[in-house]
Structure 1
Amino acid sequence: MSYLDFLLNPLISMDPTPSNPVFTIFFIAALIALFIVVLQKWLIDYDKMHELQAEMKELQNDMRAAQQSGDPKALAKVQKRQKELLPKNNELMKMQMKPTIITMIPIMIIYYGMIGNHAISHVIINITSSQYFLLLIPIWNIFWTQSNPLTINFFGWYILCSFAMSFLFRRIFGLNSM
């Protein structure tokens, strides 16, 4: 019994396979991915972010050139510029972290509600051995262990759907690079 059963059970009942609600998990992962991408689009000034990233890249190139030349004056000049860019870099990091901090608690509440739902937490998707290697599950098995490696459980399916939908929504909203 989950505290989100009042929301999850109607979704599960609309799923074509309510005993193994993979489409319900896909729908929830898509909603969460859309929420995160919209929040990022709203909270992050991407023009400013790209400008700051370009400045930092230019600074790194100048630092590398100054170190290779061995000129102490050029190195001091680059280090001075680096100190001037430090507050901008901190601002960039804050800008990028704000959506993460805002979405963390709601996502955890939804995720733990999904784990508490018996139908969702016991989802099993059987895959072929070629899909096993295409989905890089041998690498994933480092993070979680299953009795049958040719299956994807609730967590694996949620992650796959979330990554795919997040990629799609980022493309739709024009947020191709981070």
Structure 2
Amino acid sequence: MARTEQKVRDLVDGDGEMRDAVGTVLAHVDDDEDGEVTWVDVKGELTSGQWGRLIERGILVEGDAGFRLADTEAVRNGLNGEASTTSSTSKSKSKSKSTSDDDDSSSWSKYDKGAAVVTVALFAGYSWAPLRNVIGSVMDVALGPLATLMPFYAVVMILALATGLYSTLLQANLMDMDKMSEYQSKMKDIQERRKQAKEDGNDAELDRIQEEQMEAMGDQMGMFKEQFRPMVWIMFFTIPVFLWMYWGIGIGPNAESHVPLQNLVLPLVGEVAWTDQILGPIQAWIVWYFLCSMGFTQIIRKGLNIDMSPTAS
């Protein structure tokens, strides 16, 4: 609440037109039974630039059918100059930290950075046999007994199921879908206002929207970080599994297989050896793994009702 109140204070300080704009939005929100407002509701009373600044500052956030105030009471207090107890004690700090707080919410922790460093190092195992042999031998302690109990194609299916499960859970827990949806909503709003400004021939408004788009590039980088963060952890856990399959099948010059192998039967292809090339240079074992992984991942997402596609209203 304190941060929203301070954002409103900073926005309307010395700007009577912006104060009127916030008041107009607040009035529309109070009148609406769902507490939401759309651009169509206020386009005759606000400029598109004012509307965009409210979204950019996080005062307006995505709702079910339009936009709602992040904190109605905080906006009212910020507009009327009635500081709450919390905001009065943190007023001197909130302005200086508002930007850093937004950055921290999407920044990587030391564990994320450590996982990224280890992941990059693990990539060397694909081309450097000694590292691959070490990782394969270590992973074989857990996976070796599994390969002796069942056919290798079934082992790959189990690995694909496991990697699909933790990949889905990591994406669901490490990606801030609300923040990504909010960003998409803001970009959609900018595009609509840009289109309207072009139709109206409003060059001044186009310039302001262009500035908003340039400022939004920082948000785009934040969204990229949000998307890449779970990928680091997915690769952190998946690369050792792949290196064990490399080691077990015997991929590479002078490599020997370390697990019992029978020929594999692939749809539309028929019986093939695990190292046969199926799609260009792509070998049969990789095709089988990805077929299993894609299928299991879709089943897991449906079963757990996890949607990894952020939507903008």
Which TM bucket (shorter chain)? 0.7 to 0.9
Distance in 2, Cα, partners of 1:88 & 1:123? 51
Query: Aligned residue for 1:73?
Result: 204
Partner of 2:307, secondary structure, is coil
> Residue 7 in 1 paired to residue 142 in 2?
yes
Query: Aligned residue for 1:126?
Result: 265
**Alignment-mate amino acid for residue 141 of structure 2:** F
Q: Give the direction of change, closer, same or farther, for the CA distance of 1:37–1:123 in structure 2 (3 Å limit).
A: farther
Deviation at 1:105, TM superposition (A): 3.0
Partner of 1:174, secondary structure, is coil
Deviation at 1:165, TM superposition (A): 1.7
Residue from 154, 170, 180 that aligns with 1:49: 180
Residue from 261, 269, 279 that aligns with 1:141: 279
Partner of 2:190, secondary structure, is helix
Deviation at 1:8, TM superposition (A): 1.9
Residue from 49, 53, 62 that aligns with 2:193: 62
Q: Give the direction of change, closer, same or farther, for the CA distance of 1:9–1:177 in structure 2 (3 Å limit).
A: same
Distance in 2, Cα, partners of 1:121 & 1:66? 67
Could you tell me the TM-score, scaled by structure 2's length?
0.45
Structure 1 segments unaligned to the other structure (5+ residues): 133-139, 147-152
Question: Moved runs in structure 1, 4+ residues, more than 6 A?
Answer: none
Q: Give the direction of change, closer, same or farther, for the CA distance of 1:73–1:105 in structure 2 (3 Å limit).
A: same
> Residue 30 in 1 paired to residue 161 in 2?
yes
Residue pair 1:121, 1:154 contacting (<8 A) in 2 also: no
Partner of 1:126, secondary structure, is strand
Residue pair 2:147, 2:260 contacting (<8 A) in 1 also: no
Structure 2 segments unaligned to the other structure (5+ residues): 1-132, 249-256, 271-277
Number of residue equivalences: 159
CA deviation string 1:108-138 (max 9, x = no partner) = 1210111111366956432454x78xxxxxx
Could you tell me the TM-score, scaled by structure 1's length?
0.74
Query: Aligned residue for 1:136?
Result: none
Query: Aligned residue for 2:233?
Result: 102
Deviation at 1:170, TM superposition (A): 2.4
Higher RCO, 1 or 2 (CA under 8 Å, sep at least 6)? 1
Distance in 2, Cα, partners of 1:120 & 1:59? 57
Residue pair 1:40, 1:99 contacting (<8 A) in 2 also: yes
Distance in 2, Cα, partners of 1:126 & 1:164? 17
Distance in 2, Cα, partners of 1:102 & 1:156? 23
Distance in 1, Cα, partners of 2:206 & 2:177? 30
Deviation at 1:99, TM superposition (A): 0.6
Partner of 2:306, secondary structure, is coil
Distance in 1, Cα, partners of 2:299 & 2:285? 21
**Between the two proteins, what is the percent identity of the paired residues?**
24
Residue pair 1:114, 1:121 contacting (<8 A) in 2 also: no
> Residue 169 in 1 paired to residue 304 in 2?
no
Distance in 1, Cα, partners of 2:170 & 2:207? 40
Work out which of the two has the higher radius of gyration on C-alpha atoms and give 1 or 2: 2
Deviation at 1:56, TM superposition (A): 1.7
Residue pair 1:29, 1:162 contacting (<8 A) in 2 also: yes
Residue pair 1:39, 1:99 contacting (<8 A) in 2 also: yes
**Alignment-mate amino acid for residue 247 of structure 2:** G
**Alignment-mate amino acid for residue 293 of structure 2:** S
Query: Aligned residue for 2:247?
Result: 116
